[in-house]
Amino acid sequence: MVSDFEAYGEEADGGVGAVVVTATWLLQDDEGYWTGPWNAWCDDQNHCRATVTLTGHGAYVGVYAVLTEGPGEDGDGTTTDAILAGEMPPVPEAPELPAD
């Protein structure tokens, strides 16, 4: 994983208001590999929310995975994941601003 992060807010008691992280993942095994972007943010209690969308390559062509993480009731992270057949739907174009 290659990542970049930015801390926002005032440093008080050794903490910050929020941390935003972006990363690129590469997961590999003998049969193929997965790649994709990961985006997350954590609040001042270190409760993080993240999503990664991975596209399969090699033996995993035609499959993609979506994983999300959020704070659980006990404060530990909980992960939800889905591995789906097919291609990721295309990202739509941004809507145009209305003419004034």
Q: What is the pLDDT of residues 13-63, one digit of tens each?
A: 565 678 888 999 999 999 999 999 999 988 777 778 889 999 999 999 999
**Taken in order 93, 51, 67, 35, is the CA torsion positive or negative?**
positive
Asked if the structure places residue 100 within a domain, the reply is no
Res 24: pLDDT: 92
How many domains are there within the chain? 1
* Domain membership of residue 36 as a residue range: 2-85
Buried b (16+ CB within 10 A) or exposed e, 57-67: eeebeebbbeb
Residues 49 and 8: their CA atoms lie apart, in Å, by: 16
Asked if the structure places residue 96 within a domain, the reply is no
What confidence tens digit (pLDDT) does each residue in 74-84 have?
656 667 778 88
Res 59: pLDDT: 95
Asked if the structure places residue 94 within a domain, the reply is no
* Cβ 7 vs Cβ 43: under 8 Å: no
CA-closest candidate to residue 1, choices 19, 32, 24:
24
